[in-house]
Amino acid sequence: MTIDLRTTHVEPLRRNFDHIAARIGDDKPASRYQEGVWGLQPAVNFHYRPTWDPAHELYDPTRTAIVMRDFDDFVDPRQYYYGTWTMQRARQQESQEKNFEFVEKRGLLAALDDAWRVKLVELVLPLRHVAWAGNTNNASICAYGFGAPLTSAAAMQMMDELGVAQYLSRAGLLLADNEPRFLDDAKRVWMTAPMWQPLRAAVELSMTIADWFELFVAQNLVIDGLVHPLVFDRFDRRLAAAGGAGFSLLNEFVVDWYAESSRWVDAMVKLAAAESADNAARIVTWTSDWRARIVAALAPLAEYGFGPDGTATLAEVDAGLVARAARLGVALEG
């Protein structure tokens, strides 16, 4: 027997869990995002010190120099909990899939001459390794960071970076009729070509950063914040002009993801900087430090990609980062 339960009126006793009500009251129910992240990380009474880091508690706010009254304030402007995140990515994946088919069927990259194709292989495809480092670094932020709102979004960023690495791999495969030769070429230049070594050294250095918020700034604000505009915007335009318009279609996911995830990155940095002058000063130091390192590392790549316009193009991208940081309350020297 099934009963039509809709006809029964049942008065709720409360709307929210106590820890959620403490933040937003009990008048209206929390969103699934709020319910899914606030208070999720255990707060006290940790039983044992980590054998891998006995100087800290299992969850420990002092793994970063950033000080917050409440790390649960780091809410994601995209309001991603697992369900909304994965459904959004699945939609993007579907559209990206169509793009791959379209480019392949129409032979859109056939018009690209060999010189440009080599440039594409040597300048764009090695970025799959940079994205791979982005994956590893965001795993650190998720593992050692503090507070479920920020660390859960870092876990999504970790998987997204893996997705970026794989989409770039797929573009490389498509260029070579599903043979891995361009991926192997790209790896070779990443490992040995002098123009890539400064960036590789910087990326390897980023993987040793102990302070997870510094790592957040280095990876998500500076490395991605310079590399993506330089390559997936500026270089992509050059490529399009040279008959490689199909390539933009292969990177739609990467471009959309970067724009979207930047909203999250910006909100985190802005909030931390606004919390205190000390925080802001540290973020300025980290950003300046990494900006100098990455801009220098990108110089030979800009020259390779843009020839005589390399310096100016990189300067433009760098100015973009300075302006972006300024909007976040992080004043860098111009």
Partner 1 sequence: MAKKLGLKERYALMTRGLDWEPSYQPLDKLFPYDSYEGIVIKDWDAWADPFRLTMDAYWKYQAEKERKLYAILDAFQQNNGQLNLSDARYLSAVKLWLQGVTPLEYAAHRGFAHAGRAFRGAGARIACQMQSIDELRHAQTQLHAFSHYNKFFSGFHNFAHMRDRAWYLSIPKSFFEDAMTAGPFEFVTSISFAFEYVLTNLLFMPFVSGAAYNGDMATTTFGFSAQSDESRHMTLGLEVVKFMLEQHEDNVPIVQAWLDKWFWRGYRLLGLVGTMMDYMLPKKVMSWQEAWGIYWEENGVALFHDLARYGIRLPKHHEVAAKEKNRLTHEMWTVLYQYGNALGLHTWVPNDEELDWMSEKYGELFTSMYRPRLLHLRELEQRGERFFNNRLPMVCQVCQIPVFYTEPDDPHVQCVRIVEAAGTKHHCCSDGCADIFNREPMKYVQALIPPQQIYRGEAGGARDIFEYGAWLHLERDVDTGEYRGSPDQRHWQAWQQQHKATPADAA
Q: Give the footprint of partner 1 on residues 201-240 (CB under 8 A).
A: 201, 204-205, 207-208
Rounded (10°) CA dihedral 10, 13, 17, 20: 100
| H or E element that contains 147 | none
**229, two tokens:** 């505009």
Cα torsion angle, 149, 39, 85, 78, sign: negative
**90, two tokens:** 């699945």
> In terms of CB distance, is 4 or 114 closer to partner 1?
4
Q: How far is the CB of 79 from partner 1 (least distance, A)?
A: 12
Q: Is 46 in the site for partner 1 (CB under 8 A)?
A: yes
Q: How far is the CB of 308 from partner 1 (least distance, A)?
A: 30
Residue from 79, 86, 99, 262 binding partner 1 (CB under 8 A): 86
Within 66-85, the residues that bind partner 1 by CB under 8 A are 81-83
In angstroms, rounded to a whole number, what is the distance separating the alpha carbons of residues 40 and 295?
38
Q: Is 251 in the site for partner 1 (CB under 8 A)?
A: no
Check if the beta carbon of residue 26 is closer than 8 Å to that of residue 16.
Answer: yes
Q: Is 149 in the site for partner 1 (CB under 8 A)?
A: no
Q: How far is the CB of 329 from partner 1 (least distance, A)?
A: 29
Q: Is 158 in the site for partner 1 (CB under 8 A)?
A: yes
Q: Is 163 in the site for partner 1 (CB under 8 A)?
A: yes
Residue from 187, 260, 276, 289 binding partner 1 (CB under 8 A): 187
In angstroms, rounded to a whole number, what is the distance separating the alpha carbons of residues 248 and 233?
9
Q: Is 28 in the site for partner 1 (CB under 8 A)?
A: no
Q: Is 200 in the site for partner 1 (CB under 8 A)?
A: yes
**45, two tokens:** 């009474």
Residue with tokens 């860098």: 332
Residue 196 is classified by DSSP as G
Backbone angles phi, psi at 16, to 5 degrees: -125, 155
Q: How far is the CB of 290 from partner 1 (least distance, A)?
A: 15
Nearest CA to 68 among 307, 281, 273, 333?
273
> In terms of CB distance, is 84 or 276 closer to partner 1?
84
* Number of chain positions touching partner 1 (CB under 8 A): 91
Residue from 25, 49, 118, 311 binding partner 1 (CB under 8 A): 49
Q: Is 42 in the site for partner 1 (CB under 8 A)?
A: yes
Nearest CA to 172 among 226, 110, 247?
247
User: How many C-beta neighbours within 10 Å does residue 97 have?
Assistant: 12
Residue from 6, 114, 277, 333 binding partner 1 (CB under 8 A): 6
Q: Is 334 in the site for partner 1 (CB under 8 A)?
A: no
